[in-house]
Amino acid sequence: MKLILLGAPGAGKGTQAKLISDYYAIPHISTGDIFRSNIKSGTELGKKAKAFIDAGALVPDELTVDLVLDALSAPECMGGCILDGFPRTIAQAEALDAAMKAASDAIDCCIDIEVPDEVIIERMSGRRVCPSCGASYHTVNVPPKTEGICDSCSAALVIRKDDEPGTVKARLDTYHEQTQPLIGYYTAQGKNIVIDGMHSPEEVFSEIKEKLG
Ligand code: AP5
Ligand code: MG
């Protein structure tokens, strides 16, 4: 099963991707996580991506597409995968379709998680992430067992740099301009399923499982 998760920043893509990956036993590929890990380890890719991410803009397609196609060609992705945060532009979706077609493969389904902008802003302001294992929490909605400490690896939680209010607004504008058109793209292919992201993470996941059949 090859799946795409679509949704505004903070809609819960990472939260659902983890649940989907565990339940269906398929790898989780997050372009945001790949960029953040490259920034952390100071690679050339990380240096190039940082300025775009900090400004709430998209990293250029030429730095993003090959990275994902490479990850997708790994043997562990043969049986399926969940793409979180890719594609994010029509050009990325077309490149993905072309590469999959060349391998006699195809995306099965695009899962579009819908959450209104006001709620997105509230979710991002409360998000805390683990700098060590990448786990994501929310101070009110998804709190860790001990305040400020990761449940899985006990590291001190941090606020993501691009979750500052000014950057969140820029990320939302970028989403509406460049990524939302993908809903029409996958609807035209009969592959888009709409999920109401305004329930608890467990309820959202139940709706995803039900609609995937
Ligand atoms: P990326 O890391 O993908 O960020 P994003 O799309 O902005 O999304 P987030 O990770 O912020 O949110 P999410 O939807 O995963 O929500 P989460 O589950 O954490 O990308 C970062 C940057 O990298 C981009 O801005 C861009 O610059 C660059 N980039 C990445 N991919 C790219 C590409 N393909 N092309 C070009 N550039 C690219 O949840 C959010 C919060 O809400 C958490 O606190 C969580 O605990 C809470 N929460 C989750 N679900 C619920 C729920 N159901 N109810 C209540 N709270 C919830
Ligand atoms: Mg995410």
In a domain? residue 136: no
Residue 29 lies in a domain: yes
- What is the pLDDT confidence band of residue 109, given thresholds at 50, 70 and 90? very high
Whether ligand 1 lies within 6 angstroms of the CB of 142 is answered as yes
Alpha carbon distance 157, 132 (integer Å) = 9
Q: What is the pLDDT of residue 161?
A: 87
Measured at the CA of 190, the angle between CA 189 and CA 196, to 5 degrees, comes to: 120
Residue 115: HSE in the Cβ half-sphere, 13 Å Cα cutoff: 25
Reduce the DSSP state of residue 153 to 3 states and report it.
coil
Note the ligand closest to the C-alpha atom of 31.
1
25 pLDDT more than 90:
yes
Q: Measured between alpha carbons, how far apart are the two ends of the chain, in Å?
A: 12
Question: What span, in angstroms and rounded, lies between the C-alpha atoms of 21 and 13?
Answer: 12
Give the position, in ligand 1's atom list, of the atom nearest the Cα of 174. 25
Round to whole Å and give the CA distance between 67 and 62. 9
Residue 89: pLDDT over 90: yes
Position 64 in a domain:
yes
CATH of the domain at 45: 3.40.50.300
Distances (CA, A) of 161 to 158, 182, 188: 9, 26, 36
Please give the tally of structural domains in the chain: 1
This prediction's pTM = 0.94
CA angle 196, 183, 110 (to 5 degrees): 70
pLDDT confidence of residue 44 = 95
The answer to whether position 125 is within a domain reads: no
197 in any annotated domain: yes
User: Which residue, among 85, 86, 88, 105, has the nearest Cα to 97 in the 3D structure?
Assistant: 105
Residue 87, preceding peptide bond in cis (omega within 30° of 0): yes
Q: 127 catalytic, yes or no?
A: yes
Q: Is residue 154 part of a domain?
A: no
127 lines ligand 1 (CB under 6 A): yes
Quick: pLDDT tens for 163-194: 988 899 999 999 999 999 999 999 999 999 99
Q: Does residue 207 register a pLDDT over 90? A: yes
| Structural domain for 44, as ranges | 2-116+165-212
Three-state secondary structure call for residue 158: strand
The pLDDT, as a whole number, for residue 166 is 87
Domain membership of residue 143 (yes or no) is no
Question: Is position 171 annotated as part of the catalytic site?
Answer: yes
**132 occurs within a structural domain:** no
pLDDT tens sequence across 37-67: 999 999 999 999 999 999 999 999 999 999 9
Longest distance between any two alpha carbons in the chain, whole Å: 49
Of the candidates 41, 34, 44, the residue with the CA atom closest to the CA atom of residue 83: 34
Alpha-carbon gap, residue 22 to 19, rounded angstroms: 5
Place of tokens 């509230």: 122
Tokens 């389904």 sit on residue: 109
